[in-house]
Amino acid sequence: MAAMAGLQSSMTALSLSSNSFLGQRLSFPPSLSPLPVKPRENPCLIVVKLKRWERKECKPNSLPVLHKMHVKVGDTIKVISGRDKGKIGEITEIFKHNSTVIVKDINLKTKHMKSREEGQPGQIIKIEAPIHSSNVMLYSKEKDVASRVGHKVLDNGKKVRYLIKTGEILDSDENWKKLKEAEKEKTEVAAAAAPSA
pLDDT in tens, 143-181: 999 999 999 998 888 889 999 999 999 887 777 677 778
The reply to whether 117 falls in a domain is yes
Burial (CB count within 10 angstroms: exposed 0-12, middle 13-18, buried 19+), residue 172: middle
Domain annotation covers residue 129: yes
CA–CA distance, 85 with 106 (Å, rounded to integer): 10
Domain count, the chain: 1
CATH code, domain with 112: 2.30.30
- Per the domain annotation, does 130 fall within a domain? yes
Residues of the chain where predicted confidence (pLDDT) is lower than 50: 16-18, 197
pLDDT of residue 87: 96
Contact 25, 17 (CB under 8 A): no
Residue 180 CA from chain centroid, whole number: 22
Assigned domain for 106 exists: yes
Distant-in-sequence, close-in-space partners of 73: CB < 8 Å, separation ≥ 6: 91, 92, 93, 94, 179
- Give the model's pLDDT for residue 133: 95
Q: Which domain covers residue 141, as residue numbers?
A: 75-146
Identify whether the C-beta of residue 163 lies closer than 8 Å to the C-beta of residue 105: no
pTM of the model as a whole: 0.61
